[in-house]
């Protein structure tokens, strides 16, 4: 209790000393302090305006979105299978908004969003290559986007057997026996005047690299 009382006395003495010091300041110093105070207030107003502008600008990077290949483990061998069986075989890729604010991404039918999804694949011998869409012509083309609410996903369909779409670098197709490759999705939207104007997310993200078993479907 004495120690606490001593600290209180010391604090009161320090406050009294500061009060006397303020009274002894020269008018010139007081004027200088007033100018500095005005400048600080102006800086605070400018900072508040800057914060508001920052909130309006779209944010980029991997803290807003994630991308994943939606192929679960299945079968007796507990494997992620990609099969060419069927008329239009496909799998899905999920782009998920992990932030607490809506995020815009391009729709994939127009030239701004058509090439935003690609894949990186690694063969058993270590060879790595990229799977990308080939050239495409548009009869009508304008920037349009999807808006992802917080913690929701956009599902992208990947018709991997469509050689017209994936004509630049196609997906591998085994001749007979199944083959295992390491695959990851790459989702990328580059900066552009249209993205900036419409508040569309920009950045590059990748899914985890996982092993997938490709079946020829024959």
**φ, ψ at 40 (rounded to 5°):** -65, -40
Question: Which pLDDT does position 135 carry in this prediction?
Answer: 94
CATH of domain 65-215: 2.60.40
Whole-angstrom distance, CA of residue 80 vs CA of residue 213: 6
Which residues of the chain fall below pLDDT 50? 1-61
Question: Which pLDDT does position 16 carry in this prediction?
Answer: 44
Tokens matching residue 46: 């400018």
For 29, the 3-state DSSP assignment is helix
Whether this model's pTM surpasses 0.85: no
Predicted confidence (pLDDT) per residue in 154-169, tens digit = 999 999 999 899 988 8
Whole-angstrom distance, CA of residue 194 vs CA of residue 105: 12
Question: Which pLDDT does position 77 carry in this prediction?
Answer: 84
Whole-angstrom distance, CA of residue 195 vs CA of residue 190: 8
Question: Which pLDDT does position 62 carry in this prediction?
Answer: 64
Whole-angstrom distance, CA of residue 67 vs CA of residue 189: 13
Question: Which pLDDT does position 104 carry in this prediction?
Answer: 98
Predicted confidence (pLDDT) per residue in 29-48, tens digit = 344 334 334 333 333 333 33
Residue extents of the structural domains in the chain? 2-56, 65-215
């Amino acid at each position: 209790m004495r120690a606490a009382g001593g600290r209180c006395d010391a604090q009161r003495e320090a406050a009294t000393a500061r009060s006397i010091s303020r009274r002894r300041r020269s008018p010139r110093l007081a004027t200088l302090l007033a100018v500095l105070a005005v400048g600080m207030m102006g800086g605070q107003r400018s900072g508040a305006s800057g914060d508001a502008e920052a909130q309006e600008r779209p944010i980029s990077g991997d803290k807003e979105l994630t991308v994943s290949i939606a192929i679960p483990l299945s079968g007796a061998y507990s494997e992620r299978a990609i099969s060419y069986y069927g008329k239009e075989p496909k799998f899905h890729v999920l782009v998920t908004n992990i932030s607490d604010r809506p995020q815009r991404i391009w729709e994939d039918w127009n030239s701004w969003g058509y090439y935003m999804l690609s894949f990186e694949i690694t063969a058993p011998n270590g060879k790595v290559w990229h799977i990308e869409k080939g050239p495409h012509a548009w009869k009508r083309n304008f920037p349009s986007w999807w808006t992802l609410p917080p913690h929701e996903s956009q599902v992208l369909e990947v018709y991997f057997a469509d050689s017209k779409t994936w004509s630049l670098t196609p997906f591998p197709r085994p001749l007979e026996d199944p083959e295992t490759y390491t695959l990851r999705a790459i989702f990328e939207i580059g900066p552009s005047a249209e993205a900036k104007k419409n508040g569309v997310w920009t950045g590059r993200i990748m899914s985890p690299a996982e092993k997938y078993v490709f079946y020829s479907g024959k």
